Amino acid sequence: MYLPNRSFSPVLTALLAGLLILLSGVSSSAAPKGPEIGQPAPDFELKDTEGNAVRLSSFKGKTVVLEWFNPDCPFVVYAHGEKGPLSKQPQAATASGVVWLAINSGAAGKQGAGLERNIAARKEYAMNYPVLLDPSGEVGRSYGAITTPHMFVVDAQGKLAYAGGLDGAPMGRGNSTNFVAEALTSLSAGEAPKRPRSKAYGCSVKYGRK
The pLDDT tens digits of the residues spanning 96-113 come to 999 999 999 999 999 999
Confidence band, pLDDT 50/70/90 cuts, at residue 115: very high
Residues sharing a CB contact under 8 Å with residue 192, sequence separation 6 or more, in sequence order: 161, 186
Q: Taking 50 as the threshold, does the pLDDT of residue 5 lie above it?
A: no
Angle at 75 between CA 65 and CA 175, to 5 degrees: 75
29 DSSP 8-state letter: G
pLDDT in tens, 123-155: 999 999 999 999 999 999 999 999 999 999 999
Give, as one character, the DSSP assignment of residue 170. G
Burial 69-83 (b: 16+ CB within 10 A, else e): bbbbbebbbbbbeee
Q: What is the CATH number of domain 61-204?
A: 3.40.30.10
Max Cα–Cα distance, the chain, nearest Å: 67
Residue 119 has pLDDT above 50, yes or no: yes
Confidence (pLDDT) at 29: 35
Name the pLDDT band for 174 (thresholds 50, 70, 90). Answer: confident
List Cβ neighbours of 210 (8 Å cut-off, separation of 6 or more).
137
pLDDT of 26 strictly over 60:
no
- The 3-state DSSP class for residue 198 equals coil
Domain boundaries, the chain: 61-204
State if pTM tops 0.95. Answer: no
CA angle 61, 119, 97 (to 5 degrees): 20
